[in-house]
Amino acid sequence: MDFLHTVAGFLVGILVGLTGVGGGSLMTPVLVLMFGVSPQTAVGTDLLFAATTKTFGSAVHGWRESVDWRIVRRLAMGSLPAACATLFAINEFGKVNKSGQHVILLILGTMLILTAVAVLLQKQLVAFASRHKSMEHRNVLLPTIVLGALIGAAVTVSSVGAGAIGVTALLMLYPHLPVSRIVGSDIAHAVPLTLVGGFGHWIIGDVNPILLGNLLIGSIPGVIIGSFMSSRAPDKWLRPALAAVLIVSGLRLLG
């Protein structure tokens, strides 16, 4: 067991349980920047890491009845086909060379900065949405499916997008729902999506099973603790700190 990998998994697991953010937006840059893992292996390994971690997180949220399964189904209608199509495209290009790795880093860095913006402006965006008339029930279906498709493609390429970006968009589409229910639904949707993406990358050969095991030893207890703490999270300092880490990581990857 690699102690540092396990500690990293534990800390990220707590953040995933607390906010729904961190499975990809923190673990992938940690693997690339701190542990020197290649971008494609970091993405593939992190997808299975997120799938297992969020399975435990969604179980806790489901037990607390903070999952809207209607939203989960709608997102999956778009995300799962998009993930399969993206995996097919990745496989068609063959082994990722240095220029391909550079593209992955650019996408990852951009997604991290977008995630940071979503984290910082989430309350303002939700307030804007709540001041306007909510979409009728029938009109939210298609936007939710489209959102799922965009998340599915982004997550499969970069492992980032199912956290803060997804939560923020869902809060704008469903402003009448409590934040804890949106977070729970987002975590539950991430489970099948990251499973599909992760096993696809495993088949392609972009997963390190030993690294994955070390991360999960720490993340499983971490996400359980974070999920139970989610209703009492100190949002006033957690949100800016998380956004700052995402911005620094994104800029380093873009640099």
* Greater model confidence, 241 or 31: 31
pLDDT attached to residue 135: 52
Residue 138: which pLDDT band, with cuts at 50, 70 and 90?
low
pLDDT attached to residue 75: 96
**Do 113 and 250 touch, CB atoms closer than 8 A?**
yes
Tens digits of residue pLDDT in 120-136: 887 787 777 666 655 54
pLDDT attached to residue 230: 64
pLDDT attached to residue 231: 59
Which letter does DSSP use for residue 232 in this model?
G
Find the farthest-apart pair of alpha carbons in the chain and give their distance in angstroms, rounded.
Answer: 53
**Do 144 and 71 touch, CB atoms closer than 8 A?**
yes
Is the pTM higher than 0.85? The answer reads no
Cα gap 32→211, rounded to integer Å = 13
Residue 39: which pLDDT band, with cuts at 50, 70 and 90?
confident
Tens digits of residue pLDDT in 43-62: 899 899 888 887 887 787 67
Cα gap 122→26, rounded to integer Å = 18
